[in-house]
Amino acid sequence: MTSRKGIVMSGIRPTGYLHLGNYFGAVRNYVRMQDEFECYFMVADLHSLTTHPDTSQLKDNIHRVLAENIACGLDPDKVALYCQSHVPETAELYLYLNMLSYVGELERTTTFKDKARSQPDNVNAGLLTYPVLQTADIIIHRASYVPVGKDQEQHLEMCRNFANRFNHRFGEIFPEPVAFNFGEDLARIPSLDGKGKMSKSENQYATIYLSDGDDLIRKKAMKAVTDSGPVEPNSPKPEIIENLFGLMRLLGTPANVQHYEDAWNNCTIKYGEFKKQLGEDLVSFVSPIRIKAEEIQADKQYLKDIMIKGAEKANHSAQKTMKLVREAMGLNYY
């Protein structure tokens, strides 16, 4: 990998299944970045231990996350795609950064407060220092760009603080990482029940997962919430209807979209038919990804090979950084 390119780093939690919202909000951006940047994409298995202490499903989940991301177009030959625990230097840097982070600021982190509330019996120190570990993930590659959503803004701000503190105390080693996306067209995928966006935790029937079978997708599309239909020609669409049209514009053919736009405008639209078409558009989009992901997930040798290859690239970069870090900190005694 050439270091003339900007360095990109992001982490993917191995909990939950990928859905369309994740695809258009995150994975598609990773795929676009892989040609322009030096990319490190990591499966955050260590972070998952802060909320999921039961590791019996971990291996399967890691395999699935890797398979789904590759099926979406992430190319393990172009990027470093690796597991967090395969870069042990991350834990070392995390330790040093812990001495530069204050309990007060960690306790004020929104995600910490949320998780402390949702798992009161397991408010572990790892939960408290979650943003410190995330900082180590990012700066261990001296990355400048972090493609993440709004929910990670505070973590990223803390990351900049920790990196700056290190630089002030020990010398300029780390750039200040910023959140990155390709601007406007970060598509927000609406939930099919008209309530907010697709998400892991809300109504399962209103979220399309990349692992959903064709018939399940069709059923979900037919259950999409609509209204009683247009009463006047050329009237503006209410949000729930516009959202469904938006999905069809994203996934379907322009001719079909035009057909239903016309039907809306002259008040002949039949929602049953419209949702049936939307279902087919969703199936055409999701089904090849699902089939590819299943194939990859079944190929344990391939998964092992890509994990090894990813770890090699990530280790190379991490070791280079840690040499600088130890020297800057004065942890070099001979």
Burial group, residue 162, by CB count within 10 angstroms (0-12, 13-18, 19+): buried
- Based on CB atoms, which residue is closest to ligand TRP, 18 or 241? 18
Under the binding rule (CB under 6 A), the answer on residue 152 touching ligand TRP is: yes
118-147 residues in contact with ligand TRP (CB under 6 A) are 134, 137-138, 146
Under the binding rule (CB under 6 A), the answer on residue 89 touching ligand TRP is: no
Q: Per CB under 6 A, which region of 10-18, 48-56, 63-71, 248-256 contacts ligand TRP?
A: 10-18
- Based on CB atoms, which residue is closest to ligand TRP, 157 or 299? 157
- In sequence order, the β-bridge partners of residue 8 are 39, 145
- Based on CB atoms, which residue is closest to ligand TRP, 27 or 138? 138
Measured between alpha carbons, how far is 138 from 174 in angstroms, rounded to an integer? 10
Measured between alpha carbons, how far is 315 from 298 in angstroms, rounded to an integer? 26
Q: Using alpha carbons, select from 33, 31, 39 the residue that is nearest to residue 317.
A: 39
- Based on CB atoms, which residue is closest to ligand TRP, 51 or 256? 51
Catalytic residue among 113, 195, 200, 292: 200
**Catalytic site includes residue 115:** yes
39-78 residues in contact with ligand TRP (CB under 6 A) are 44, 47
Under the binding rule (CB under 6 A), the answer on residue 281 touching ligand TRP is: no
Catalytic residue among 59, 150, 195, 197: 197
**Catalytic site includes residue 300:** no
The least distance separating ligand TRP from the CB of residue 26, rounded to whole angstroms, comes to 9
The least distance separating ligand TRP from the CB of residue 12, rounded to whole angstroms, comes to 7
Inter-residue contact 165 to 131 (CB < 8 Å): no
Measured between alpha carbons, how far is 19 from 286 in angstroms, rounded to an integer? 10
Q: Using alpha carbons, select from 136, 138, 133, 135 the residue that is nearest to residue 40.
A: 138
Q: Per CB under 6 A, which region of 4-12, 187-195, 224-232, 296-304 contacts ligand TRP?
A: 4-12
Beta carbons within 8 Å of 1's beta carbon, 6+ residues apart: 38, 80, 313
The alpha carbon of 326 is separated from its chain's Cα centroid by a whole number of angstroms, namely 31
Under the binding rule (CB under 6 A), the answer on residue 163 touching ligand TRP is: no
Measured between alpha carbons, how far is 107 from 125 in angstroms, rounded to an integer? 10
- Based on CB atoms, which residue is closest to ligand TRP, 140 or 293? 140
The least distance separating ligand TRP from the CB of residue 126, rounded to whole angstroms, comes to 12
**Catalytic site includes residue 292:** no
Alpha helices in 23-129 (DSSP H): 28-33, 45-48, 58-71, 89-98, 103-107, 110-118, 125-128
Which residues are catalytically annotated? 115, 197, 200
Binding-site ranges for ligand TRP (CB under 6 A): 9-11, 13, 44, 47, 134, 137-138, 146, 148, 152, 155
